[in-house]
Amino acid sequence: MAKSRRQFDGNVLLYYTLMVLILCSYGIPVYMGITLLIPVTSNITAWVLNTLAVVILASTLKPVWNWAQPRVHHLVYAMDDPQLEMIGQMSDSLASTSPEDSMLSTIAETIARTVKLPYVQLETGSGTIATYGVPVNGSEITRIEINYREESVGWLEVTSRLPKEPLTSSEYGLLNSLARQVGITLHAARLSETLQASREQLVTTREEERRRIRRDLHDGLGPTLASLRMQLSAVRRMVRDNPDQAEQLIDELRDDVSTATAEIRRLVYDLRPPMLDELGLIAAIKNFKLADYTTQLEVIAPDPMPRLSAAVEVAVYRIASEAIHNVVKHAQATTCVVEVQVDAHHLTLSVTDDGKHSLAGHTSGVGLQSMQERAAELGGTFSIQTVETGGTHIVVRLPLES
Amino acid sequence: MNKLSRSTGLKIAAVIVLGLALLDMIVYEIPDLARGMAAVNASEGPPFFIVILGFAFDVLAIVAAYGAWRAERWGVILVIVISAYSSISGAGAAIFNPSMATRILGAVAVVLYLGVIYLCLRREPKSLANSVGD
């Protein structure tokens, strides 16, 4: 086995050389000062002076070493890039920005102060503008695009310090480096805003759903059950004295109970299709009742189907049902193939028909928006294309929890 | 002193090193160089080649002061090396030189060079590090 040769590290040599020099620059003058400047007398012999010098040095060299060691280490090994220092300053400044302060204003001010520019302007894609300082008359304007990965998220506009004096190449390079950091910051801020908006929408949707359920129960089912109770009381009073009228009332009650049962079924279906629990996702899709019996439905799926979350199951079921409904209603297709593929991270649902009218060009009225929203709610994607025969090919890809 | 930024500290260190190097050149090396090799070697002072080495050392100190002024790492390291050597030689001059003025100058130089080393290794105070550079 070949021995690995340790490469010579010049920084190690420099580090220890500096440490030795610093200790010597302290130790030698102190020793010489004590032993040579203090006069030797009968009481203070040379041995005493030497001992005193050694004791003083022994007690003070360690603190001097402890003080110098990290500083020399930093001097020798720390990266000495002014760009890094300025990026660090900007990061510190942003971290100390309170939520009430405008982040763009803080970024503009930080860039102006770190690069020492008289004027900085920031624009984002939404048109928001933040400025700092005042431009110098006649000074050259430099405009730098702020990108996050390959997406433009804004513009950085600065002016030079003196009229007709452009920025130096190092300053331009520094501004580009800062713009990259700003791009990351703006993207993170936008994600945070989107997340907050999603949370608010989630809460709003949940409360709206609760309100709808409450309304359905309170205005629909509630009065129906109350009416049934009163009618039952009336039947109880009539059953001995007027059995014919009681029988008629009982028939009416049976119809009312059927209506209430249907109402409950509707409420339950809106919450979650019961066939998903009774048959499972694939069997529920296979059991779609097609209005047009000339269209053949074919379902291809893994067997056994892996366990999916309730949200994904409902989304796949509703998207498939909407797509199949569109095929039957609009496409004039003879065959509709629904395919479900599942891997470790995604579920892919595709619905393909051989109809003569493609739905790819439609933008509304056929539930496409509904399908897109259901996919987007779960962080998935939706695409629709026209196949060669004229039919439609819909692909929905949903992420799965690990 | 706590409010002193690191860049200002380095500038002060550079000025001190430059001043001491120029003083050394003006007071000692340049007059000896002007007298010539024969006269210097005939006198009781150090040999001529020592004078030349001293002059070169002072030129190096001036270059190091320039680097430290610009906060360049190489300049700071060179200033530390020069200051460490100069404090040791200054201690020798403060103790052994027959001239009282030279001994006082040597003692002062030791203190100043140790101060330069301190300024070169001093970290940026936290109160200044938290604010954006003006």
- Which residues span the domain enclosing B20? 6-122
**pLDDT of B130 above 60:** no
Last residue of a domain, one of A45, A77, A109: A77
B contact residues 66-85, partner A, Cβ 8 Å cutoff: 73, 76-77, 80-81, 83-85
Query: What's residue A4's pLDDT?
Result: 47
Query: What's residue B82's pLDDT?
Result: 95
- Asked whether residue A296 is domain-assigned, the answer is yes
> For chain A, what is the mean pLDDT?
83
Last residue of a domain, one of A174, A196, A218: A196
- Asked whether residue B83 is domain-assigned, the answer is yes
Cβ neighbours of residue A18 under 8 Å, at least 6 residues apart?
Answer: A72, A75, A76, B77, B80, B81
pLDDT digits (tens, 9 = 90+) for B12-70: 999 999 999 999 899 888 888 888 888 878 887 788 888 899 999 999 999 999 999 98
Kindly state the percentage of chain A with pLDDT values over 70.
90
Nearest to B27 by CA among B54, B66, B62, B67: B54
Residue B3: what residue type?
A: K
Token representation of residue B78: 């060179």
Q: What is the CATH number of the domain that holds A350?
A: 3.30.565.10
- Asked whether residue A304 is domain-assigned, the answer is yes
> Cβ of B95 under 8 Å from any chain A Cβ?
yes
Domain count, chain A: 3
- Which residues span the domain enclosing A343? 276-399
Q: Which among B73, B80, B95 has the least Cβ separation from residue A22?
A: B80
Residues A345 and A281 in one domain: yes
Q: Which residue has the higher pLDDT, A255 or B123?
A: A255
Token representation of residue A242: 């007027």
- Asked whether residue A374 is domain-assigned, the answer is yes
Q: Which among B76, B94, B96 has the least Cβ separation from residue A75?
A: B76
* DSSP type of residue A330: I
Chain A interface mutation, best of B70, B78, B88, highest count of A Cβ atoms under 10 Å: B88
Give the whole-angstrom CA distance, residue B134 versus residue B126.
15
Contact B62, B21 (CB under 8 A): yes
Residues A292 and A377 in one domain: yes
**pLDDT of B129 above 70:** no
Give the whole-angstrom CA distance, residue A265 versus residue B102.
107
Residue B126 pLDDT grade (very low, low, confident, very high; cuts 50, 70, 90): low
Residues A356 and A325 in one domain: yes
Strands A335-342 and A296-300: parallel
State the average pLDDT over residues A104-127.
84
Query: What's residue A357's pLDDT?
Result: 65
> For chain B, what is the mean pLDDT?
85
> Cβ of B44 under 8 Å from any chain A Cβ?
no
Give the whole-angstrom CA distance, residue B75 versus residue B120.
10
Token representation of residue A338: 């629904």
Q: End-to-end distance of chain B based on CA atoms, in angstroms?
A: 18
Nearest to A156 by CA among A175, A133, A177, A134: A175
Give the whole-angstrom CA distance, residue A311 versus residue A57.
74
pLDDT digits (tens, 9 = 90+) for A184-204: 888 887 888 888 888 888 888
**pLDDT of B107 above 70:** yes
- Asked whether residue B117 is domain-assigned, the answer is yes
- Asked whether residue A137 is domain-assigned, the answer is yes
**pLDDT of A86 above 80:** no
B110 to A29: CB separation less than 8 angstroms, yes or no: yes
- Asked whether residue A268 is domain-assigned, the answer is no
Nearest to A18 by CA among A69, A64, A67, A62: A69
Nearest to A348 by CA among A383, A324, A322, A391: A383
Residues A379 and A282 in one domain: yes
**pLDDT of A148 above 90:** no
**pLDDT of B80 above 90:** yes
Token representation of residue A158: 């600065």
Residue B134 pLDDT grade (very low, low, confident, very high; cuts 50, 70, 90): very low
**pLDDT of A260 above 70:** yes
Query: What's residue A20's pLDDT?
Result: 93
- Asked whether residue B43 is domain-assigned, the answer is yes
For residue B121, give the chain A residue with the closest CA: A71
How many CB atoms are located within 10 Å of the residue A191 CB? 10
Strand partners, A349: A340, A396
Residues A348 and A295 in one domain: yes
Cα–chain center distance at B32: 20
Asked which of A36-40, A47-51, A173-177, B83-87 is least confident by mean pLDDT, the reply is A36-40
Per-residue DSSP letters for A180-203? HHHHHHHHHHHHHHHHHHHHHHHH
Residues A59 and A153 in one domain: no
Residue B133 pLDDT grade (very low, low, confident, very high; cuts 50, 70, 90): very low
Residue A23 pLDDT grade (very low, low, confident, very high; cuts 50, 70, 90): very high
What is this model's ipTM? 0.82
Q: Which H or E run contains B113?
A: helix B100-121
Contact A187, A125 (CB under 8 A): no
C-alpha R_g of chain B: 17
Residue A2 pLDDT grade (very low, low, confident, very high; cuts 50, 70, 90): very low
Residues A65 and A120 in one domain: no
Query: What's residue B116's pLDDT?
Result: 95
**pLDDT of A63 above 90:** yes
Q: Which residue has the higher pLDDT, A105 or A349?
A: A349
SS3 A156: strand
- Asked whether residue B66 is domain-assigned, the answer is yes
Give the whole-angstrom CA distance, residue A236 versus residue A142.
90
Residues A340 and A309 in one domain: yes
For residue B110, what are the CA distances in angstroms to A21, A135, A198, B118?
14, 50, 68, 12
Residue A7 pLDDT grade (very low, low, confident, very high; cuts 50, 70, 90): low
Q: Which among A14, A72, A89 has the least Cβ separation from residue B132?
A: A89
Query: What's residue A238's pLDDT?
Result: 86
Asked which of A91-100, A243-252, B76-85 is least confident by mean pLDDT, the reply is A91-100
Residues A68 and A161 in one domain: no
Token representation of residue A402: 């690990």
Query: What's residue B63's pLDDT?
Result: 96
State the average pLDDT over residues A262-275.
81
Residues A151 and A64 in one domain: no
How many CB atoms are located within 10 Å of the residue A83 CB? 15
Cβ neighbours of residue B116 under 8 Å, at least 6 residues apart?
Answer: B13, B16, B17, B79, B80, B83
- Asked whether residue A235 is domain-assigned, the answer is no
Query: What's residue A42's pLDDT?
Result: 76
Contact A318, A284 (CB under 8 A): no
- Asked whether residue B11 is domain-assigned, the answer is yes
State the average pLDDT over residues A55-84.
83
Strand partners, A394: A351, A384
**pLDDT of A46 above 70:** yes
Nearest to A117 by CA among A154, A169, A176, A171: A171
**pLDDT of A73 above 80:** yes
Residues A105 and A185 in one domain: yes
A93 neighbourhood in chain B, CB within 8 Å: 132
Domain count, chain B: 1
pTM of this structure: 0.47
